[in-house]
Each structure stands twice: as structure tokens, then as C-alpha cells.
Structure 1
Amino acid sequence: MKNTLLCCLAAVSLALSFFFDYAPAEGAAGSPALAQASLLSFDDGNGPEGFRDSLNIGYYSQALGIQADYTEDASLLRTITEWLGTPYRFGSNTKKGTDCSGFVTRVFKEAYGITLVHSSRSMFSNAKRVAKDEMKTGDLVFFRRGPGQPIYHVGIYLKDGKFAHSATNGGVMVSSLEQPYYHRNFYAAGRVISE
């Protein structure tokens, strides 16, 4: 058993050595510079946090049920993933419970630093309209119960026809716009324009 474990560790070590280049330069204290990944690294403009998020995209994809790649908005996907399973609570916006607009306001504040009004109708009034076939990750999706009825629900579009929202019958979850209830009540999509 010990030999098998040691062989596995040696193989993993060997495999990892192909992914790292050691710079010949020395650090400030005379110690060798840290290794930098050569095959896995890329500059996404977000520093180490962005790199970590990009590596976690697979996890976010699985948790949210979408096909995401490293070019996706990792901060948004991470924030939504952290809220999954939060119970529904009318008028609230904490991880102990949140309603739909409370969820959207917290996600936009945490992911983008954007403050939105805690009201789906106000969000609708302030968002730039987007055609359903032109929606992008992070756009808002609005619902109403028929012509002339007010907006009553809001969620955040992910991709592949899916959106994240806080539903009265399950809390924060991911649903499909093709589900009969949401397909029937979908009203419009809007994009938040930061000032």
C-alpha cells in the first residue's frame, strides 16, 4: 500500500513538473524566485483572484448547470454559486433568507460593486432593454403574470436559457426560461448599465 501511494505521488510530482518553469532570477532575500505556471497561466486582468476564479469555472459550471469556460464572468458566477440554497424570505436580502430583488441587489453589489434598488419594478425601469436572443450573462430577466400586469419577479441570466433567482417555492436556485411557468410569464430582459 505504501509503495503504491509513493508511486502515485511520484507520478503526480513528475506530471506537475512539466507545468512549472523555475526562473533563474533570485528573490529579494537571495532565495530562488517562486515557480510560475507556464501552461496554465494567463493574464485575465484580475490578478491572482481572477486566476483562481478561472480555475474554479468548472465548479461553477457544474453547480449552476451551465456550460461555462474561463472567459465567463467568474466573479458573478462565484457570487451566485455562494448564494445557491438560500431560503426565500420576503423583503430580505441576507443569506438567512432573501426575496428575488434582494438576491439580485446583493449579487450585483458583491460581484460588481453596483448598488441597485431593492425592487424588481425599479430595476426594470432603470435597465436598458435587451432582446431575448441577445441576452448575455449578467443581464436581468423580468416576469409578469399577463398583459398589463406589473413586474413581479426578477432573476439574473446565466446562459443556455438558464437564470438564477430566489423563488418563493425553493429559495435561490437556477431555473430554465423554457420551464412552462417561466416561459409563459417571461416579460423582458434588461442590462444594468454602470455609471
Structure 2
Amino acid sequence: MASVRRFNKVKSSFLVLIVAFWPGLAFSDSSLDSLLNPPAAEQSYSNEIQNALLAHYSNWAGTRHKLGGTGTNGVDCSSFIQTLFQDKFQLRLPRSSREQMTMGERVDLSDLRSGDLLFFRTGPTRRHVGVYVGDNQFMHVSTRAGVEIAKLFSPYWQRHFITARRVGLAGITPSN
């Protein structure tokens, strides 16, 4: 009887590990290779976008969160994203994260590029937005730390993820 319980416990632990790493199971060797080694033109585009995002971050890092805020004395997530896309890409986005979530086209997490918008449900009616910067990280406005770069695949963000959207930065030369 003890060996049956031990087997069930091992079986349960194994299932928990499988579920925990489920996103990794979706990658075939070829899709993983394409993620790690994108074509040169796409990599150049992505590097330009990433550099523009990081330049914007250097001016805003640590700026505190302020609900409804729109400037460096306090900013909320959707205003931060709206300002970023206007300043760096001359692209006008709506003011609210709920409206921003309707822009562009849906993107799978396995196909993220720098500049893609990421949306999260952080409360029953609250939405949060950030922007993917590459290397499984995104920039956003945290209520605790202000403007920061966070790990996309942390348990918190994975649990609250809704969707990713690509808003048409192809062909746009970012201003640094």
C-alpha cells in the first residue's frame, strides 16, 4: 500500500512538472532554432526597435506609478505606452489599455518581437499593458517600482497574461 502511495505521489509530481513546463513542449527543434536564430533582416529590425525602447527606458526608469498620470512626475501603464509609441515611433495609440488591446494583430508568445504589446488582467476589471523588449523581458509601470523591466515568464505575469499584440512597427524607423 505504501508503494502505491509513493507511486501516486511521484506520478503527481511528474504531472506538475509537465504542466509547469508545458509552453516548452510546444516548441519543435526547428521552431526553437528559428526563435534563437531569426533571419538577419528581422534581427536588424528587432535590434533597432529594442534600442529605441531601451533609450526610452533610460529616460523613464524608476518613474513612479500614478493612476491617471501622464508624465515623469507619475505615469500609469497605458499613458507610458502611449507616450513611448508617440515619441519613438510617431504612432498614436489610444489612451486606455483596454482600447490599446484592440490595436494591431494577435501574436503568439513564441513569436514575440521587440515592440509587441503585452496585456495582463491584474484585477476583475483592470488591464495592464507593457511592451516586449526582447530576451523574455518587458517594460512596464509597476505599482511598486515604477517604470521597470520585468521577466515575462515569472509566475505572476504568466498567471495574469491575456494576449500579445503587434501594432505595425514594420517599416518605421525609430527615433532615438
Return the TM-score normalized by structure 1: 0.59
Residue 156 (structure 2) pairs with residue 169 (structure 1): no
8 A contact 2:122–2:128 mirrored in 1? no
Maintained 8 Å contact 1:142/1:151 = no
Highest CA radius of gyration, 1 or 2?
A: 1
Give the match's secondary structure for 1:103: helix
Secondary structure (helix, strand or coil) at the match of 2:66 reads coil
- Correspondence for 1:179: 154
- Report what 2:110 is aligned to: 133
Q: CA distance change for structure 1 residues 145 and 103 in 2, over 3 Å: closer, same or farther? A: closer
Structure 1 match to 2:121: 144
Q: Does 1:192 align with 2:167?
A: yes
- Percentage of pairs with the same residue: 35
| Contact 1:121–1:150 (Cα < 8 Å) also in 2 | no
Deviation of 1:145 after TM superposition, in Å, equals 4.5
1:150 Cα deviation (Å)? 4.7
**Residues 87-102 of structure 1 correspond to what in structure 2 (within 5 A)?**
87-102=64-79
Distance in structure 1 (CA, Å) of the matches to 2:125 and 2:163: 12
What is aligned with 1:154?
Answer: 129
Partner of 2:55: 78
Q: CA separation in 1, counterparts of 2:114 and 2:139? A: 11
**Residues 145 and 85 of structure 1: CA distance in aligned 2, closer, same or farther (over 3 Å):** closer
Q: Secondary structure of 1:184's partner?
A: helix
Number of residue equivalences: 125
Q: Name the structure 2 match of 1:20.
A: none
> What's the offset of the Cα at 1:178?
1.8
What is the distance in 2 between the residues matched to 1:151 and 1:140?
16
The higher-RCO structure (CA 8 Å, 6+ apart) is 2
Retained in 1: the 8 A contact 2:131–2:139? yes
Residue pair 2:117, 2:131 contacting (<8 A) in 1 also = yes
Q: Offset of 1:134 from its aligned partner?
A: 0.3
Return the letter of the residue paired with 2:88: A
Measure, in 2, the Cα distance between the counterparts of 1:71 and 1:126: 23
Equivalent position SS for 2:84: helix
Residue 87 of structure 2: aligned partner: 110
CA contact (8 A) 2:69 2:76 kept: yes
Q: Normalized per residue, which structure has more helix?
A: 2
Unpaired runs of 5+ in structure 2? 1-43
* Structure 1 stretches lacking a partner, 5+ long: 1-67
Q: 8 Å contact 2:136–2:152 — kept in the other structure?
A: yes
**Alignment-mate amino acid for residue 146 of structure 2:** G
